[in-house]
């Protein structure tokens, strides 16, 4: 066993008990924006299973920042429910991180504060083919002020709910990624153009969140180290983004990849199976999945499929980096730590088996039984929420019962 994998690491004000964290994987347990009892159980199990920190995916910082209606939404009313979740995580000995996000134009929820969904630039909205919101609206300086303040408020609410860290979502094609990516950001002002300018708004958000909560919570940024698109950011850009975020004070950068619409296989390292559509009740999401199957190349899963891109970031950025993508075995984790990555982020393998880290530590198993089939992604939309198709589905009753009820 590699001693380093099970040694603590300090990121900002937070001490992690080992090097494994659970990556954000939307668990579909937040009907009406409120976390469910099943979501609490899910993260409690993950925490008790040995990770140093679990991530609650996808908490919208404002109602207009939601991608889906049933997405955790940070407001005063949600805090008591989130507190139940963080207490369960702490009881399992792990830290809790809230992923805080704004979807920008990647949304299926009509905006209330603006005429059209916001983005870095206006014009045709690709996701509008599914959502019916065909046009997006370029953010004004005052929109940016408001949204930056929503991130601050979201981080403060996460703190009030007992989270130990916040992860600002800057990847996968959500709002801050729409600023970072030249595919979305066509601005010609201080917030668009070269990478330094495209970084300006994400850095502003990071700076404000650090000022608000950074002395008490770890402030983490998740980025797409490559957009996986010829007109998007490549790994060299992603490496510069990671470096800039760390220079600005980010306590940890999580290296993901890809964009939800344009390059989902870059994110998952393998194609989505046709069975996924049959699990999805929502016809809009089912259509999106069909479109993705048509347009994306067929990709076979490879362990550590993000390694080449992430190495570029490791060579440039000096602070703590979390590797994410296709970690399947303890040997994979050992290799990553030997290559200088600080934290190992795990997604599907923990959906497959919540106590994988304990099983690694005890020597019970050396590798995961997850087949990387991606069928858990469609389970997100089922009444029981995200679960592994090889295991027991989530309890649908618990999944519609608010956590604090």
Q: Which residues are catalytic?
A: 174
The β-bridge relationship of strands 252-256 and 321-324 is parallel
Is residue 26 close enough to count as binding ligand FMN by CB under 6 A?
A: yes
Q: List, as one string, the DSSP characters of 89-109.
A: HHHTT-EEEEEEE--TT--SS
Going by DSSP bridges, is the β-strand pair 135-138/123-124 parallel, antiparallel, or unpaired? antiparallel
| Of residues 159, 148, 20, 151, the one with CA closest to residue 93 | 20
DSSP string for 186-217: ---STTSSSHHHHTHHHHHHHHHHHHHHTTTS
Start-end of H helices in 317-374 = 330-338, 348-352, 356-362
Count the neighbouring beta carbons within 10 Å of the beta carbon of residue 124: 10
**Contact map string, positions 322 to 351, toward ligand SF4, x by CB under 6 A:** --------------------------x--x
136 binds ligand SF4 (CB under 6 A): no
Site string for ligand FMN, 278-317 (x = CB under 6 A): ----------------------------------------
Residue 109 — φ and ψ, nearest 5°? -110, 120
58 contacts ligand FMN (rule: CB under 6 A): yes
CB of 388 to ligand SF4, least distance (A): 3
Residue with Cβ nearer ligand SF4 (19 or 352)? 352
Buried b / exposed e along 314-346 (16+ C-beta atoms within 10 A)? bebbebbbbbbbbbbbbebbebbbeeebbbbbb
Size, binding site for ligand FMN by CB under 6 A:
24
At residue 387, the 3 state secondary structure works out as: coil
By CB under 6 A, residue 251 contacts ligand SF4:
no
CB of 350 to ligand FMN, least distance (A): 8
User: What is the nearest approach in angstroms of ligand FMN to the Cβ of residue 188?
Assistant: 30
358 binds ligand SF4 (CB under 6 A): no
Q: Using the rule CB under 6 A, is 12 a contact of ligand FMN?
A: no
Residue 219 or 373 having the CB closest to ligand SF4: 373
Measured CA angle at 277 (ends 67, 111), to 5 deg: 15
Give 214's Cβ-side CA count (13 Å radius): 18
Burial class (CB in 10 A: 0-12, 13-18, 19+), 96: buried
Look at residue 222 and give the partner it binds from ligand SF4, ligand FMN, none, a contact being a CB closer than 5 to 8 Å depending on partner kind: ligand FMN
CB nearer to ligand SF4: pick between 142 and 300: 300
DSSP 122: -
Of ligand FMN, ligand SF4, none, which one sits near residue 327, judging by CB under 5 to 8 A according to partner kind?
Answer: ligand FMN
Among 117, 182, 326, 402, binds ligand FMN (CB under 6 A): 326
| Contact flags string 83-122 toward ligand FMN, x per CB under 6 A | ----------------x-----------------------
Among ligand FMN, ligand SF4, none, residue 373 binds (CB under 5-8 Å by kind): ligand SF4
Binding residues for ligand FMN, rule: CB under 6 A, are 23-26, 57-58, 99, 169, 172, 222, 256, 267-268, 324-327, 346-348, 376-377, 380, 386
């Amino acid at each position: 066993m590699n001693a380093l994998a099970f040694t603590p690491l300090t990121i900002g004000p937070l001490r992690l008990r080992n090097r494994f964290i659970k990556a954000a994987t939307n668990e579909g347990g937040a009907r009406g924006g409120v976390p469910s009892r099943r979501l609490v159980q899910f993260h409690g199990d993950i925490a008790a299973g040995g990770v140093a920190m679990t991530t609650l995916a996808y908490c919208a910082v404002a109602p207009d920042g939601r991608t889906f209606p049933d997405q955790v939404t940070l407001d005063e009313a949600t805090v008591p429910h989130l507190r139940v979740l963080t207490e369960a995580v702490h009881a399992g000995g792990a830290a809790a991180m809230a992923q805080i996000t704004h979807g920008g134009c990647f949304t299926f929820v009509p905006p209330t504060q603006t005429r059209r969904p916001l983005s870095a630039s206006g014009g045709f909205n690709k996701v509008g083919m599914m959502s019916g919101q065909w046009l997006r609206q370029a953010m004004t300086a005052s929109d940016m002020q408001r949204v930056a303040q929503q991130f601050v408020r979201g981080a403060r609410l996460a703190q009030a709910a007992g989270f130990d860290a916040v992860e600002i979502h800057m990847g996968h094609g959500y709002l801050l990624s729409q600023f970072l990516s030249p595919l979305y950001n066509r601005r010609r002002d201080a917030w668009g153009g070269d990478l330094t300018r495209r970084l300006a708004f994400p850095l502003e958000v990071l700076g404000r969140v650090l000022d608000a909560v950074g002395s008490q919570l770890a402030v983490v940024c998740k980025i797409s180290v490559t957009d996986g698109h010829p007109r998007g950011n490549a790994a060299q850009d992603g490496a510069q983004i990671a470096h800039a975020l760390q220079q600005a004070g980010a306590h940890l950068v999580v290296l993901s990849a890809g964009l939800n619409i344009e390059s989902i296989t870059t994110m998952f390292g393998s194609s989505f199976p046709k069975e996924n559509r049959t699990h999805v009740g929502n016809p809009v999401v089912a259509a999106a999945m069909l479109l993705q199957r048509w347009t994306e190349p067929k990709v076979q899963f490879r362990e550590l499929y993000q390694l080449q891109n992430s190495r570029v970031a490791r060579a440039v950025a000096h602070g703590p980096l979390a590797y994410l993508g296709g970690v399947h075995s303890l040997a994979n984790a050992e290799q990553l730590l030997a290559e200088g990555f600080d934290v190992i982020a795990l997604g599907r393998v923990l959906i497959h088996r919540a106590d994988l880290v304990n099983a690694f530590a005890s020597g019970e198993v050396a590798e995961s039984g997850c087949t990387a089939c991606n069928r858990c992604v469609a389970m997100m939309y089922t009444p029981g929420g995200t679960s592994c198709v090889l295991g027991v589905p989530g309890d649908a009753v618990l999944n519609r019962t608010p956590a604090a009820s």
